[in-house]
Homo-oligomer: A and B are copies of this chain.
Amino acid sequence: MLHFNSDYMETAHPAILRRFAEIASEQFSGYGLDRCSASAAEKIAALCGKPDAVVKFLCGGTQTNAVVIDALLRGYEGVIAAESGHIATHEAGAIEGRGHKVLTLPENEGRLNAEQIRAYMESFLRDENRDHVVQPKMVYISNPTESGTIYKKAELAEIRRVCDAYGLYLYVDGARLGYGLTAAGNDVTLKDLASFCDVFYIGGTKVGAMCGEAVVIPDPALLPRFFTHIKRSGALLAKGWVLGAQFDTLFTDDLYFKIARHANEMAALLKEGFREKGFRFYIDSPTNQQFLIVSAAERERFDEITTYGYWCPYDEDHTVIRFAASWATREEDVKELLRLI
Contact = CB atoms under 8 A, between A and B. Distances in A.
A123 interface: yes
B11 A17 contact: no
A62 B123 CA distance: 23
A28 B210 CA distance: 12
Contacts of A134: 92-93, 96, 232
A304 interface: no
B75 A238 contact: no
Interface in A63-106: 63, 65-67, 70, 74-76, 78, 89-94, 96-102
A78 B93 contact: yes
Among A11, A24, A29, A310, the most chain B Cβ lie within 10 Å of the Cβ of A11
A234 B90 contact: no
What DSSP secondary structure best describes chain A's contact surface?
loop
A210 B59 contact: no
Interface stretch (A41-49, A125-133, A147-155, A280-288): A125-133
B96 A101 contact: yes
A323 interface: no
A211 interface: yes
Contacts of A128: 310
Given A75-B232, A91-B231, A236-B62, A25 B10 contact: yes
Given A60-B237, A238-B211, A242-B210, A92 B27 contact: no
Contact of A97 (B9, B232, B312): B232
Contacts of A27: 3, 9-10, 307
Protomer copies: 4
Given A231-B92, A232-B76, A20 B26 contact: no
A306 to B, nearest CB: 11
Contacts of A305: none
B96 A234 contact: no
Interface residues of A, number: 81
Interface string A206-246: 10001100000000000001011101111111110110010
B74 A238 contact: no
B20 A74 contact: no
A12 B229 CA distance: 27
Nearest to A232: B92
A62 B245 CA distance: 22
Contact of A239 (B101, B133, B211): B211
Contact of A93 (B75, B237, B313): B75
B228 A131 contact: yes
Contacts of A9: 27-30
Contacts of A70: 75
Given A92-B76, A205-B239, A234 B123 contact: no
A94 B211 contact: no
Contacts of A328: 25
19 contacts: A3-B27, A11-B26, A12-B24, A17-B17, A59-B59, A62-B234, A76-B92, A76-B228, A78-B96, A93-B99, A94-B233, A94-B234, A96-B96, A96-B100, A97-B232, A99-B99, A129-B310, A210-B239, A211-B242
Given A62-B231, A234-B235, 7 more contacts: A9-B27, A11-B242, A75-B93, A96-B99, A101-B102, A131-B227, A234-B234
